[in-house]
Amino acid sequence: MAAWKSAAEFEPAFDISEPAERDSAAIFNSPHSGARYPESFLAASRLDARALRRSEDAFVDELFACAPMFGAPLMRAHFPRAYVDVNREPYELDPRMFEGRLPPFANTRSLRVAGGLGTIARIVGESQEIYGARFPVGEALARIEAIYKPYHRALKRLIARAYRAHGVALLIDCHSMPSIGVARDDRSRADIVLGDRYGASCSPAIVDFVEQEFRRQGFDTTRNRPYAGGYITEHYGAPASDLHALQIEINRALYMDEQRHEKRRDFAAFVDRMSTIVERISRAPLASFGALRSAAE
């Protein structure tokens, strides 16, 4: 087993692009687009970097990079999802992966842990095992302390700041999805999947608005299937308190070559289409959507 340098290899682990003027109640977050792979991580993995990158939301941060131009901050990870996944509970951990005992408060029985996709993932892609051997439980806990917790503290501050300024906040959690699922009966997926936890994390009026903007740009959309939203959407969305969280999954085939892990030639044109949508979301009168929600209740 290679010597671990842990999260110290990420400096910084994430960044926040701030607008010149904070005049939007929206916050954009790209938690899975990180592409820095520490040497110690690669040395401990039985997979090469190319295989590990299959779990990445590659280039998604670039699709939403214009957000600060329209008054909204963009937060993005530099660490890869395969290293630590901030779209999980803080301690969704599989005890079979580690040497030593996990703390008693760890969630070892979640469906995500069972599937190999806990806070520290066991697999990538089509059930490819990341590690060739167990590694110290202290390494897992160090990643959570040094990366996961600071990430969520920063995200929480952005949401609180927007809420104080506008009386409402909308977190857009930005992701990508494979064009075709791994199951044999999976069909090609929609262009865009909007996840609102089946109405639990975001006002229907806001979801309707976002969906309409995607459709105006010619995108085929669907809701919650196969992605209803992960921990971030569930944890930060509280529509009754005017705290809204909406996950956006973008079909990777629209903007990249999934096999080569490269941008398509028309990537810039796709970014232009996305920029129009990001502008509309950032400048939307979200407080009025809250009023629509209240009137409908």
Contact 221, 215 (CB under 8 A): yes
Q: pLDDT tens across 56-66, in order?
A: 999 999 999 99
| Distance set, CA 150 to CA 7, 55, 145 (Å) | 12, 22, 7
Range of weakest confidence among 50-64, 192-206, 282-296: 282-296
The domain ranges of the chain are: 9-80+151-296
Q: pLDDT tens across 118-139, in order?
A: 999 999 988 899 999 999 999 9
Helical H segments across the chain, by residue range: 39-44, 49-52, 60-63, 111-114, 137-143, 149-166, 204-216, 231-236, 267-282, 286-296
The predicted pLDDT at position 6 comes to 57
pLDDT tier for residue 11 given thresholds of 50, 70 and 90: confident
Query: Class of the 9-80+151-296 domain?
Result: alpha beta
- As given in the structure block, the two tokens for residue 15 are 């960044």
Answer whether residue 1 shows pLDDT above 50.
no
pTM (whole model) above 0.85: yes
Residue type, 153: R
The predicted pLDDT at position 3 comes to 45
Mean pLDDT on 15-32: 97
Answer whether residue 83 shows pLDDT above 80.
yes
